[in-house]
């Protein structure tokens, strides 16, 4: 199940260059490159002649050239040169995709181009805001994208999967959890009051005594999850909203489906203190990377099970409240998009 009429992260900005880059999004092959003026382009990754991926080709000026018989395409996907003949065959055109660069990520729209409004790109300003220190990274995951969304909406798993890095038992033993939602968003707020800090927080914040800790997960469909996390010394005002004498971070996640069983996982980590300390930014990134690799092992094991036992009987628990709300939103949006498709085709 894919929502096509949405922005998705296609790449980190530094990944797109004059060397064509091929990736698959929502089951469709895409080639990305930069024109000579630096503009990012995304086209269907297929030559109309004999279907070789254009990502195997090279750039000739602002044209991408197929490595098989040399056909060249401009940035709109139109074939503009066929070696050995002057006439371009009718229909020699491939699909082009709207692309926007924002917050150090390259965003792509896989659905109806007429609906591609850049104002609908989610806010990830922490990645390039001078008031925050930030790093970003990428993981390829051999699992369905919704398994990753589920994971981020139920952080009780930190107590078991990440007990040596970013979690501890206080997440389930001493937590106050509230779930709110609108038609298209889910927010899961968790406070852990007067409890030991997990290892990463001890290392980053220097805590030697108990802390009041918060985790606020903001979900926006199809797969954008922004986590507001941090801790303050116990008794400094949390959870009433005062964040005094502690540390505040953002864990930023954007998951792009590749196929039904694989996904692109773009993520970043930002911190609000000592923002110019590169060693601190690198340390936090590596701590979270370690934890995320543990998560990937979980996702991929889940997918192997689902491949062997499709649609198994499943039991939900209270911690799944946010997960289930998000799934219902996604199911509704998917049905609405499918219902609109005949109208979009007729308009074309």
Could you give the maximum distance between any two Cα atoms of the chain, in Å? 78
Cross-strand bridge partners of residue 135: 269
231 burial (CB, 10 Å; 0-12 / 13-18 / 19+) is buried
User: What whole-number distance in Å separates Cα of residue 273 and Cα of residue 284?
Assistant: 12
User: What whole-number distance in Å separates Cα of residue 237 and Cα of residue 84?
Assistant: 75
Q: Please tell me the predicted confidence (pLDDT) of residue 36.
A: 98
Q: Calculate what percentage of the chain has a pLDDT beyond 70.
A: 93
Which pLDDT band holds residue 168 (cuts at 50, 70, 90)?
low
User: What whole-number distance in Å separates Cα of residue 171 and Cα of residue 158?
Assistant: 7
Closest CA to 231 of 301, 183, 167, 143: 167
pLDDT in tens, 21-68: 999 999 999 999 999 999 999 999 999 999 999 999 999 999 999 999
* Dihedral sign from CA coordinates of 61, 67, 73, 79: positive
Q: Please tell me the predicted confidence (pLDDT) of residue 245.
A: 78
Structure tokens at 115: 């609906």
- Mean pLDDT along residues 282-301: 93
pLDDT in tens, 191-207: 888 888 888 888 888 88
Say if residues 54 and 42 touch (Cβ distance below 8 Å).
Answer: no
What residue has token string 């930023």? Answer: 252
pLDDT in tens, 94-131: 999 999 999 999 999 999 999 999 999 999 999 999 99
pTM score of the predicted model: 0.93
* pLDDT above 80 for 261: yes
Who has greater pLDDT, 342 or 330?
Answer: 330
CA distances 347 to 116, 160, 342, Å, are: 16, 51, 9
Torsion of CA 289, 293, 295, 300, to 10 degrees: 150
Which pLDDT band holds residue 346 (cuts at 50, 70, 90)?
very low
Q: Please tell me the predicted confidence (pLDDT) of residue 169.
A: 63
User: What whole-number distance in Å separates Cα of residue 87 and Cα of residue 268?
Assistant: 48
Average confidence score pLDDT of the chain: 92
DSSP-derived secondary structure letter, 155: G
Closest CA to 250 of 272, 228, 217: 228
- Of 2-6, 8-12, 209-213, 220-224, the one with minimum mean pLDDT is 209-213
Q: Please tell me the predicted confidence (pLDDT) of residue 227.
A: 96
* pLDDT above 70 for 237: no
Q: Where in the chain are the domains?
A: 7-119, 124-334
CA distances 169 to 157, 162, 192, 206, 327, Å, are: 10, 10, 10, 20, 27
Closest CA to 97 of 17, 33, 14: 33
* pLDDT above 80 for 9: yes
- Considering the domain 124-334, what is its CATH architecture? Alpha-Beta Complex (3.90)
The yes or no reply on domain 7-119 and CATH 2.102.10.10 is yes
Which pLDDT band holds residue 158 (cuts at 50, 70, 90)?
confident
* pLDDT above 80 for 243: no
């Amino acid at each position: 199940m894919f929502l096509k009429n949405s922005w998705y992260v296609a790449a980190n900005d530094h990944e797109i260059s004059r060397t064509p880059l091929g990736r698959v999004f929502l089951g469709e092959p895409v080639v990305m490159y930069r024109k000579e003026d630096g503009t990012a382009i995304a086209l269907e990754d297929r030559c109309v002649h004999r279907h070789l991926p254009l990502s195997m080709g090279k750039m000739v000026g602002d044209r991408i050239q197929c490595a098989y018989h040399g056909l060249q395409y401009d940035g709109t996907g139109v074939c503009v040169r066929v070696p050995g003949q002057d006439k371009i065959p009718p229909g020699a055109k491939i699909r082009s995709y709207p692309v926007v660069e924002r917050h150090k990520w390259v965003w792509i729209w896989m659905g109806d181009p007429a609906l591609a409004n850049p104002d609908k790109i989610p806010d990830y300003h922490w990645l390039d805001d001078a008031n925050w220190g930030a790093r970003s990274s990428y993981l390829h995951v051999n699992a369905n994208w919704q398994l990753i969304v589920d994971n981020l909406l139920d952080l009780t798993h930190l107590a078991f999967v990440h007990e040596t890095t970013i979690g501890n038992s206080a997440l389930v033993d001493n937590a106050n959890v509230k779930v709110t939602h609108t038609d298209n968003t889910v927010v899961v707020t968790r406070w852990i009051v007067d409890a030991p800090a997990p290892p990463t927080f001890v290392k980053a914040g220097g805590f030697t005594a108990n802390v009041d800790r918060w985790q606020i997960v903001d979900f926006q469909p199809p797969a954008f999850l922004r986590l507001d996390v941090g801790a303050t010394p116990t008794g400094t005002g949390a959870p009433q909203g005062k964040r005094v004498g502690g540390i505040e971070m953002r864990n930023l996640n954007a998951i792009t489906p590749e196929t039904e069983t694989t996904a692109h996982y773009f993520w970043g980590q930002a911190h609000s203190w000592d923002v110019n300390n590169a060693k601190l930014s690198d340390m936090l990134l590596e701590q979270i990377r370690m934890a995320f690799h543990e998560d990937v092992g979980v996702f991929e094991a889940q997918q192997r099970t689902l491949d062997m036992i499709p649609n198994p009987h499943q039991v939900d628990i209270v911690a799944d409240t946010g997960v289930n709300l998000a799934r219902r939103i996604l199911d509704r949006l998917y049905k609405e998009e499918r219902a609109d498709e005949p109208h979009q085709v007729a308009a074309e």
